[in-house]
Structure 1
C-alpha cells in the first residue's frame, strides 16, 4: 500500500469512527453529510425506525455506521425523501441496495428520481456566496431509484410513521414535502426553510444558527416557496430539524420563522428575483 492509499484509508477510518447521529429528541436524531442532514426517526435501539433523506453521494457507509451505532443491525422500515435534489438523494441507491427497503417521495417528484426529468440548473446569480457561484456545476441529472421508489399516498399518511403527517411545501421543488408531528409540534422541514445561509460556504461550515429561506440557487418558484414557509409558520413548531443547518427550537425558532414568513420577499428572495415575485 503506497502512502496516498494509506492516508485515504486512515482518513476513511477516522470518519467512520466519528459517524454518529446527534440526538434532538429521544426519537429524533440527525447526521450531517458534509452540507446536508439525514434524519433518524425512532428511539435508540428501536426496530421500527425510518430514515429521512440520504445526503450527498459517497456517504452511504458513514450513514450506515451512524445507523448501526443507534439501532444495531436493524435496517429502517423505509426511507422518506423530502425531495430529489442531489444533496438529499446522493446515497439513496446504495442505502436501499444494502438495506433492501422501500423509498417514498411525493408523486410530483417521481420523474426526478426515476431518470425521466432533470431539475433546472443552479442559479449562480443568487446568494453571493461560493456555493451559489458553484451551483451551476452541482448535479441536476435525474437519479434512477425505480427499483425502490414509491409515491407517498394521496391521503398524506406516511407508511410506518403513524404520528407524522406530510405537509406539501412546494417552491424549492414541485413535490417538496415537510413532516410534522402534532403531539409535540416537531417539524422536519427539508429545504422549505433552513437554519444556515446555504449559499455561503463559510456559513455552512461554521453552522451559525439562523432561519433562512430555501437554498436560493436551487429554488425556482418563489411564490410557492413563500406560501410554504407561511404554511409551516402557522403550525407553530416547537422544534425544527432542517435539511441544512442545526436544529432550532422554542422562542428563537418562533420569532425567526414568523419574521421570515412575514417578510419573505425581503429576507429570502434574491433582489433581482423580486421583480418576478
Structure 2
C-alpha cells in the first residue's frame, strides 16, 4: 500500500489487487472526511493516515461497491462516524435491491448504516465545505466529491485513466455506460485542477481533461 499526497487538502491510499484500489482522506471545514474505505485490509492504514491530518469527522461514499466500502466495518469498530451516501444508492448497498445487472441483492453494508447526503430542493448540499456531485451511471447513486480549496474532484469510479487521459469506467461493473459518460459533463461546472481516480493515476488540468474525454467519447 502507498499513501499519496494529492493536494494540501487531500491524500489517498493506493493498493493493488489485480488493479489499483484507492480511498481518500480530505480536509473539510471542521476536520477530516474519509471518502470511500477501499477493501477491508486497507482500513487500518487509511484511518491512521487520515488521523495524521486531523480529527476524522465522517465518511463519504462515492457508491456502494465492495471495493469502496469493504473497509467500512473495521473503521466503524474503531470510530463512531456518520457514513453518507446518495439516497438512491442506499437500497442497493444495504441489500434492498439488486444492483443493475445482478440477479440478487447483496447486503454489502448492514441496513441502517448509511445516512442520505443532505439535499435541498433536489440539490445536494455541501458537507463541511465539500461538495457532492450526483453522477449516476456506474451505479444508480454514484457521487463525486469536490474540494474547492485545492480544486480536487474525487471521482470514485466515474472514470479510469491511462497515460494522463481519462477513460470510461470498467464496463463489466458499470450499470449504464451511456449515463455514466453523460454524468461526466456535470463536472465541467467546477474549476478542477486534479481529477483523483480510484482505478488509475490522477489526471491534472481537470477541465481540459474533461473536454478531451467528451471529444473522445463522441467519436
Change (3 A) 1:20 1:36: closer
Aligned residues: 213
- 1:113 Cα offset (Å): 2.3
Q: What is the rounded CA distance, in whole Å, between the counterparts of 2:138 and 2:181 in structure 1? A: 10
Deviation at 1:85, TM superposition (A): 0.7
Alignment partner, residue 213 of structure 1: 168
* Structure with the higher strand share, 1 or 2: 2
Distance 2:53 2:25 in 1: 10
Q: Which residue of 2 aligns with 1:259?
A: 212
By how many angstroms is 1:265 displaced?
5.0
TM-score when normalising by structure 2? 0.84
What secondary structure, in the 3-state scheme, does the structure 2 residue paired with 1:117 have?
coil
**TM-score of the superposition, structure 1-length normalised?**
0.68
Q: How does 1:56-95 map to 2 (within 5 A)?
A: 56-68=39-51, 70-71=52-53, 74=55, 76-95=56-75
Higher helix content, 1 or 2 = 1
1:40-55 to structure 2, matched below 5 A, reads 40-42=25-27, 48-55=31-38
Which of 101-110 and 212-221 deviates more? Answer: 212-221
Q: Tell me if structure 2 keeps the 8 A contact 1:55–1:87.
A: yes
- Greater Rg, structure 1 or structure 2? 1
The partner residue of 1:165 within 131, 138, 149 is 131
Gaps of 5+ in 1: 1-18, 123-139, 197-207, 267-277
Task: Check the 8 A contact 2:7/2:150 in 1, yes or no.
Answer: no
Paired residues of 1:41 and 1:51 also in contact (CA < 8 A)? yes
For structure 2, which runs of at least 5 residues remain unmatched after alignment? none
When residues 64 and 186 of structure 1 are mapped into structure 2, their CA distance, relative to the original with a 3 A threshold, is closer
